[in-house]
Structure 1
Amino acid sequence: MAGLKPLLQNASLTLHPGQKIGLIGQNGAGKSTLLKAILNEVSLEAGNIAMPDTWQVGYVEQEQTHLSFSAMEYVTTGDTLYAEARTRIDQAELNNDHDALVASYDELDRISGYEVPQKAQQLLYGLGFSEAEFNKPVESFSGGWQVRLKLARALMQRADLLLLDEPTNHLDIEAVSWLIQWLKGFSGAVIVISHDRHFLDEVVQGIAHLDQGKIQYYSGNFAAFERQRNEQLMQQQALHDKQKQQMQHLKSFIERFKAKASKAKQAQSRVKALERIESVAAVQASNPFQFHFAEPEHLPDPMLFSDALSFGYEDHLILKDVDLTLRAGDRIGLVGVNGSGKTTLLKLLIKENPPKSGKLVHSKGLKIGYFAQHQLESLNLDQSPLAHMLSLTKEDMERVTDQEARDFLGQFGFSHDKTLNPIKHFSGGEKARLSLALMVYQKPNLIILDEPTNHLDMETRDALEMALQEFSGALILVTHDQHLLTSIVDQFWWVHDQRVERYHGDLDAYLQQRLRLLKEKQAQIKAEKSTRPGNISDTSNASSANKKAQRQQNAHYRKQLKEATRDQSKRLAKVEKQLSDAQKQLADLHAEMEDATLYEANRSKELKDILKQEAQLKVLIESLEDEWLLLEDEIEEITNSFSEV
């Protein structure tokens, strides 16, 4: 498939309704090409991809379209049935065609189109947009926020199968947490390419590993994949020996830290890493990337501090009165929604941006290694990795020799031939690895990383994690990769409302707080939608003298309404119970269908019975949903008639 050398050969994969699969493999293994093949965007040289004719496939558009649309309009029209119904309504109104207008509104009602704008609002809120941005044109947003809009538009699709390629890139950790919850509630099937192990652990029930032109399927989440893969690799004695060396190195490092009471807390993340490496060390040992941060020659304490530090542009203040102290050995995770000022703070700390007021003091001997995505753009595209390495000269650093540079770059996956190629032909992941290599070589005692895992494949992420675990200097990390945060950092700085303050709690507590705020906002949207002008319960303008009479009138109204809707309410409660039971039975069936052995020849009768039950349940659920909607409409109609009295 694609190119002179086949990316995949005799590869097969089976996906069942409702199943969520993570697609992993090294960069260039063919993951994105496989998704394009499912979408018929690339042709197959052999074999076929089959799916039910009725299935709708949802995906994120590659090109940015409809730039003049508002964010809200762009997202809602991702629901193609809704978009078509709205187009027919607009055309009928233009033609003054009453019959066509009635028919179009009936169609909008049939597809529950009135709920679409509310769903779009919830998606936009979940992905970090404010209400003030809903009516802004798509073209007014930056590239990263346009990617979020494309993701929201994809999630609006009524898809039986959703294809996602690195959906967490360009998201902050709060939006990733929300997306995880959304995908957990999505009833369709999902194939997702991701290098974010926490995201995969939470979302998928199977891993498809692309390796050497084949697809190997592993049941369970990413942690289960690592355990199964580890068992395979542990059979190779050489890897087993390498694993023991890694574990011993990490154990000695932890013991050294634990011996110092002041460093006991910093050792905790290393303890977590050791627990993990004991179960997946063989996978790590097979990693082609192995690098280490040099032991800092000097660790000033404190490393830096700020006093009443403020920054902004003209009348727009981003950070105000920031007081921080970074101690030697601190491992800081920087959290806060995109746009809160995290990157601005980092640029202040490295003195790339001058403060508007206040002061920042770097201690003598501080040596900062800074990695950010925009640094990839500053690389000389016409130079090779070797030329970049040879150009590293500092007063306190000896000039690197040609062979030393080649050997060092080899740790980051650059072969001797690759070290001579101009980097303009490199992928984003290769450029990121080169930037990391240049930073590591300069032996910093403070490492500042701003979204380091974008463009990095799983192997490079793992190598970076191991190197950071061993690093004894200070660290400040911004990332949407929850696994990396929880395994590396010990404390969090929260950037919000122009302030930076210590967050007293772990990452789970912080994300739960953010999700709770989002749910409250979404509940508010529902409440505002259900509130109607003139409702008899609206007593905001009633005088204090009439409040008692108003309450009595409301009580009388509620009693009449309750009596009028008693039969519908009883039937509605019964239907809701039946619907809940049927949905649970269907979910249990789908769980059974994830068992790969179910599709073996000796279980064909059992599979046939399960598929029959699935079809019957789907018909029942559809019927119950129709009845539920009908009862809701009846209750709403009665309520409206009372409100008009």
Structure 2
Amino acid sequence: MFHPAFSRFPPCGSHYFPTSFRTIHTAMITATNIGLSYGKRVIFKEVNIKFTPGNCYGLIGANGAGKSTFLKILSGEIDPQQGQVSIDPGKRLTVLRQDQFAFDEHTVINTVIMGHKKLYEVMAERDKIYAKTEFTEADGMRSGELEVLFGEMNGYESESEAAVLLNGVGIGEELRQKKMKELEGTDKVRVLLAQALFGNPDILLLDEPTNQLDIATITWLENFLSRFSNTVIIVSHDRHFLNQVCTHMADIDYSKIQVYVGNYDFWQQASQLQLRQKETENKKTKAKEQDLKDFIRRFSSNASKAKQATSRKKLLEKLTIEDMPMSSRKYPFIDFKPERPSGDIILEIENLSKTVDGVTMFKDFSLSVGKGDKIAFVGSNGLAKTTFFQILAGELEPDAGTVRWGVTISKAYFPKENNSYFKDTDMNIVTWLRQYAPPQETESFVRGFLGRMLFSGEEALKKVSVLSGGERVRCMLSRMMLSGANALILDEPTNHLDLESITSLNNALTAYPEAMLFSSHDHQLVSTVANRIIEFLPDRITDARMSFDDYLTTCCGLELEAA
């Protein structure tokens, strides 16, 4: 069933054409001939794009393609080396800020209102005048002017609007008068989201808005954006979220940006269809080129055919084979192959209990894992899930209870935090991974393995101490693949990965035939992989043998977090 946002889509049958073939309405924000390079590396070249009112654009591309950079260019934070960005006169643009410490000295409610800069300035000046002990005639005149401006910008409703937004993102009334520095990091993220949404901005730029949000807040945001009538541009690695809210996809590749009508799934089909069409056209052109060359070679010296040969030479000169530039979008090859099938007994847990810093994570928890179980552990308490996985992996001792793995089981663990695997070492990637490979395997085997994980050539010789978050995750997944394990434990494996790597991981986990226990923020991964859901709640633990979407619908409404 389509999300309400899709009611803005054109009729069926038109989803697979880039908007360059469609009528464009008046633009709210326009980028013209944008160019940006860092040294020899070209990020954007002659980018022309218009973002129109009433549409929600998902900005997608491989890691390093320039998604966040382009948002900064649109917002004015970064100046392009070429071209310009123009915004319709009188239109207000807001950005989801990433600096959690920028508003530490302000109250939560004021931080939200500061999302409308002009309104907040008027409010602050007005309050400053009213706070004076002596009120001059000039103050009276100015306060009257400010009251008019305040009313025109719906200032009298600002606190109630901010409160509604804060409630929507999960910030309770008890936190609204606290200073931002008193809040936890996850709560600060929510407040900054409310700040970006405040005051009905004409243009809304959101960079990874679902990070650290629970499923209830993400659903609230999806509904908010589906009703939002202005222009939205989003960068997100959450495929489910993009499918729910986006009416268009803006694909960054080949240093260009091409816009497609439809959500993320539509883009996948449209871009693949377009690529296949180009390949087919090139094949036909190459075949025709070869036929012409054969004719010319056979008959160019034949007097009776010379005229035809000359004619075909002219046709050959007019033939053009479209270049297929190298895409920045790359999919790692992820495949977990167990060395042997598991026996009937996978994992038995009895009366497991653990307390961390005086807080009970779980108590008297029992669990039996059977063949083919793919269990997603969900709930807002990420520490409880991580603690549980650490106990299963043997990295942490429980306070009480037993964990018994079957005698046929070999397990592989993907930790949420992997710093300990990479610090205090001067190894390159090849040397690092080889220590986890079977002893009989050669360096060329390890290099070939790394090549499939996008560490080819010199990339494989990078020091592991300088790897990015996404590169470390690919290393950890490589380590797991080499283990040949028949039971997997994965704690937030999609963190730091781009959409292409998440898609590859999703496919690999779906195909894995043995038992798996995992957690993930990625809704689509959980819904397509898990056949059993276990939720850690404050007062109980639920266990349901069903898909994630069925669990959301039938068991808990929107109380849980896919994390």
Q: Same fold (TM over 0.5)?
A: yes
Q: Which amino acid aligns with 1:493?
A: I
* Change beyond 3 A, Cα 1:55–1:465: same
| CA offset digits 1:499-532 (Å, max 9, x no partner) | 22114664335445799668xxxxxxxxxxxxxx
CA displacement at 1:419 relative to structure 2: 0.6
CA displacement at 1:495 relative to structure 2: 1.5
Which residue matches 1:61? 97
Q: Which amino acid aligns with 2:530?
A: V
CA displacement at 1:144 relative to structure 2: 4.1
1:321 to 361, 364, 370: 364
Which residue matches 2:487? 446
* Change beyond 3 A, Cα 1:392–1:507: closer
Which residue matches 1:151? 193
Which residue matches 1:13? 49
Alignment of 1:2-401 (within 5 A): 2-4=37-39, 5-63=41-99, 64-96=101-133, 97=135, 99=140, 107-156=149-198, 158-235=200-277, 236=279, 287-338=330-381, 341-376=384-419, 378-380=421-423, 382-392=426-436, 397-398=438-439, 400-401=441-442
* Change beyond 3 A, Cα 1:101–1:505: farther
Structure 2 CA distance for aligned equivalents of residues 222 and 373 of structure 1 = 27
SS at match of 2:250: strand
Structure 2 CA distance for aligned equivalents of residues 130 and 307 of structure 1 = 37
* Change beyond 3 A, Cα 1:128–1:341: farther
* Change beyond 3 A, Cα 1:71–1:505: farther
TM-score (structure 1 length as normaliser): 0.67
| Residue 428, structure 1, aligned to residue 463, structure 2 | no
* Change beyond 3 A, Cα 1:323–1:131: farther
- Gap runs ≥5 in structure 1: 241-283, 519-645
1:476 to 510, 514, 517: 517
| CA offset digits 1:317-369 (Å, max 9, x no partner) | 23222222221210112221255733333233323332233333233343332
SS at match of 1:11: strand
Q: Indicate the percent of aligned positions where both proteins have the same amino acid.
A: 30
Higher helix share: 1
Structure 1 CA distance for aligned equivalents of residues 383 and 169 of structure 2 = 14
CA displacement at 1:417 relative to structure 2: 0.9
Structure 1 CA distance for aligned equivalents of residues 105 and 466 of structure 2 = 34
Aligned residues: 471
Structure 1 CA distance for aligned equivalents of residues 107 and 402 of structure 2 = 41
TM-score (structure 2 length as normaliser): 0.76
**Moved runs in structure 1, 4+ residues, more than 6 A?**
513-518
Q: Which amino acid aligns with 2:451?
A: G
SS at match of 2:427: coil
Q: Which amino acid aligns with 1:459?
A: E
* Change beyond 3 A, Cα 1:76–1:499: farther
Contact between 1:321 and 1:499, CA under 8 Å: does it hold in 2?
Answer: no
| CA offset digits 1:293-315 (Å, max 9, x no partner) | 11342414332222222222354
| CA offset digits 1:75-97 (Å, max 9, x no partner) | 34334345334313431232143
CA displacement at 1:121 relative to structure 2: 3.6
Structure 1 CA distance for aligned equivalents of residues 86 and 447 of structure 2 = 47
Structure 1 CA distance for aligned equivalents of residues 50 and 261 of structure 2 = 12
| CA offset digits 1:141-164 (Å, max 9, x no partner) | 444443333223222254211111
Structure 1 CA distance for aligned equivalents of residues 259 and 214 of structure 2 = 30
Which residue matches 1:490? 531
Higher strand share: 2
* Change beyond 3 A, Cα 1:172–1:499: same
CA displacement at 1:3 relative to structure 2: 0.5
Structure 2 CA distance for aligned equivalents of residues 516 and 73 of structure 1 = 32
* Change beyond 3 A, Cα 1:287–1:128: same
SS at match of 1:413: coil
Contact between 2:432 and 2:464, CA under 8 Å: does it hold in 1?
Answer: no
Q: Which amino acid aligns with 1:302?
A: I
SS at match of 1:191: strand
Contact between 2:531 and 2:546, CA under 8 Å: does it hold in 1?
Answer: no
* Change beyond 3 A, Cα 1:76–1:50: closer
* Change beyond 3 A, Cα 1:505–1:401: closer
Q: Which amino acid aligns with 2:125?
A: R
* Change beyond 3 A, Cα 1:316–1:177: same
Q: Which amino acid aligns with 2:81?
A: E
* Change beyond 3 A, Cα 1:84–1:302: farther
Structure 1 CA distance for aligned equivalents of residues 426 and 202 of structure 2 = 45
- Gap runs ≥5 in structure 2: 1-35, 284-326
Q: Which amino acid aligns with 1:458?
A: L
Structure 1 CA distance for aligned equivalents of residues 227 and 38 of structure 2 = 38
Q: Which amino acid aligns with 1:386?
A: V
Q: Which amino acid aligns with 2:340?
A: E
Contact between 2:349 and 2:368, CA under 8 Å: does it hold in 1?
Answer: yes
SS at match of 1:47: strand
CA displacement at 1:68 relative to structure 2: 3.4
CA displacement at 1:109 relative to structure 2: 4.6
CA displacement at 1:496 relative to structure 2: 0.9
Which residue matches 2:499? 458
Contact between 1:173 and 1:481, CA under 8 Å: does it hold in 2?
Answer: no
Q: Quick check: 509-518 or 404-413, which moved more?
A: 509-518
